[in-house]
Amino acid sequence: MGGMGNIKQALLFMNLQKVSAQGLADEITEVLGRKTIEVRSCTFENWSGLEVKGGCDIAFTLGGDGTVLYAARAMAPRGVPILPINLGTLGFIAAVPPAEWAAVYDRWAEGKVGCSRRLMLEVTVERRGRTVTQGSCLNDVVISASGIAKVIRLHVKSASMRLGQYRSDGLIVATPTGSTAYSVSAGGPILDPEMEAIIINPICPFTLSNRPIVIPAWEVLWVDVEREQRSGVLLTLDGQITEPLEPGDRISIRQAPYEAQLIASDRSMFYEALRTKLSWSGGPDA
């Protein structure tokens, strides 16, 4: 939780494709400035290499769920909470309407609003015994074909289980937060966003018996790209970062040692988004 006395620096992650983002950024800068809080901002174009010098006490996202995903990868390892302001249609993660940000911020700073803590995944790619890529994600890891020959072969196992070979268009490994993203459209289950579990979901599996499976978050997964694999294979994190894979690569996926902290984006907001987006309204009393 926050506290007015210890908040000195704020960082704004802006999606400038949203028309109202710049005006809202100016408003936040002015309001927080009156509280002697230094505010810096970054956009889609310049935040990937941003170094957060001198620390940061809170981050705001001005956009949709995609903006929150960017911010989570940057802020979660630093333990910085995120206040996600939604500038589009109702998001699963970005829940705070622009008109309410100041009230939500004040309640958080006074310790009256908490953070929803969300599991994140850490991903490492090893090639011929050497680590070539490392990253993290809040939603999902996707391993998919990049060439015309869509079907790829992946071997999936952990220390305690061997799931065997998947022949499919790809594989989604999703967090509970990411269960409502790509995974659900590929037939995966919807999980409560604060659960500690991981979804393994094949994309269009060649064998119909390959169904999505949910495993405990403490399992470490290893996914091996078959050495005889002819089609190109891509690794995608949160739908935003892509890395080409090679035959013989081993991808390890594990629960990150940190969590994304989302202010005022609790389970009730998540279920409200579910009802709205999936039309679970039912009758007037439902």
User: Tens digits of per-residue pLDDT, 216-251?
Assistant: 999 999 999 999 887 889 999 999 999 999 999 999
Mean pLDDT along residues 32-42? 93
Residue type (1 letter), 180: T
| pLDDT for res 87 | 93
Start-to-end CA span in the chain (Å): 33
Poorest-pLDDT segment among 88-92, 93-97, 140-144, 176-180? 88-92
Sequence-distant (≥ 6) Cβ neighbours of residue 54 within 8 angstroms = 9
The pair of structure tokens assigned to 44 is 């889609």
Taking only the tens place, the pLDDT of each residue in 258-278 is 999 999 887 888 888 888 877
Residue with tokens 């007037």: 284
Using a cut of 0.95, tell me whether the model's pTM lies above it. Answer: no
Q: Using 50, 70 and 90 to split pLDDT, how confident is the model at 45?
A: low
How far is the C-alpha of 280 from the C-alpha of 238, rounded, in Å?
Answer: 26
Closest CA to 93 of 102, 83, 101: 83
| pLDDT for res 2 | 46
Poorest-pLDDT segment among 89-93, 128-132, 150-154, 232-236? 89-93
Taking only the tens place, the pLDDT of each residue in 131-147 is 999 999 999 999 999 87
Q: Where are the domains of the chain?
A: 4-114+264-277, 120-256
Mean pLDDT along residues 65-86? 95
Q: Using 50, 70 and 90 to split pLDDT, how confident is the model at 50?
A: low
The Cβ of residue 139 has, within 10 Å, a number of other Cβ atoms equal to 30
The topology under which CATH files domain 4-114+264-277 is Rossmann fold (3.40.50)
Q: Which active-site residues does the annotation give? A: 65
What are the backbone angles phi and psi of residue 33, rounded to the nearest 5°? Answer: -60, -35
The pair of structure tokens assigned to 212 is 């999505």
Say yes or no to pLDDT of 3 above 50.
no
Poorest-pLDDT segment among 205-209, 210-214, 239-243, 252-256? 205-209
Poorest-pLDDT segment among 21-35, 52-66, 158-172, 210-224? 52-66
Say yes or no to pLDDT of 285 above 80.
no
The topology under which CATH files domain 120-256 is Tumour Suppressor Smad4 (2.60.200)
Cα distances (angstroms) measured from residue 267 to each of 68, 139, 275: 16, 16, 12
| pLDDT for res 1 | 46
| pLDDT for res 112 | 92
Q: Can you say how many angstroms the Cα of residue 236 is from the centroid of all Cα atoms in its chain?
A: 12
| pLDDT for res 11 | 94
How far is the C-alpha of 89 from the C-alpha of 124, rounded, in Å?
Answer: 34
Say yes or no to pLDDT of 202 above 50.
yes
The pair of structure tokens assigned to 102 is 């100041």
